[in-house]
A and B are shown apart, each in its own frame.
Chain A
Amino acid sequence: KAGVTQTPRYLIKTRGQQVTLSCSPISGHRSVSWYQQTPGQGLQFLFEYFSETQRNKGNFPGRFSGRQFSNSRSEMNVSTLELGDSALYLCASSSGWGQEQFFGPGTRLTVL
Chain B
Amino acid sequence: QKEVEQNSGPLSVPEGAIASLNCTYSDRGSQSFFWYRQYSGKSPELIMFIYSNGDKEDGRFTAQLNKASQYVSLLIRDSQPSDSATYLCAAEAGGTSYGKLTFGQGTILTVHP
Contact residues in A for B100 (Cβ distance below 8 Å): 33, 45, 48, 56, 58
Contact residues in A for B96 (Cβ distance below 8 Å): 55-56
Q: How many A-B contacts if CB must be within 8 Å?
A: 67
**Is A42 a contact partner of B106 (Cβ separation < 8 A)?**
yes
Q: Does B17 contact A (CB under 8 A)?
A: no
Contact residues in B for A106 (Cβ distance below 8 Å): 43
**Is A48 a contact partner of B34 (Cβ separation < 8 A)?**
no
Residue in contact with A101 in the complex, picked from B42, B97, B99, CB distance below 8 Å: B99
Contact residues in B for A105 (Cβ distance below 8 Å): 42-43
For A30-63 the 0/1 string (1 means CB < 8 A from B) is 0111010000001111001110000110100000
- 12 A-B pairs besides A56-B98, A101-B99 with CB distance below 8 A are A33-B99, A35-B101, A42-B105, A45-B100, A50-B99, A55-B99, A56-B99, A98-B32, A98-B92, A100-B46, A101-B46, A103-B43
| Chain B residues close to A by CB (< 8 Å) | 31-32, 34, 36, 42-46, 49, 51, 88, 90, 92, 96-106
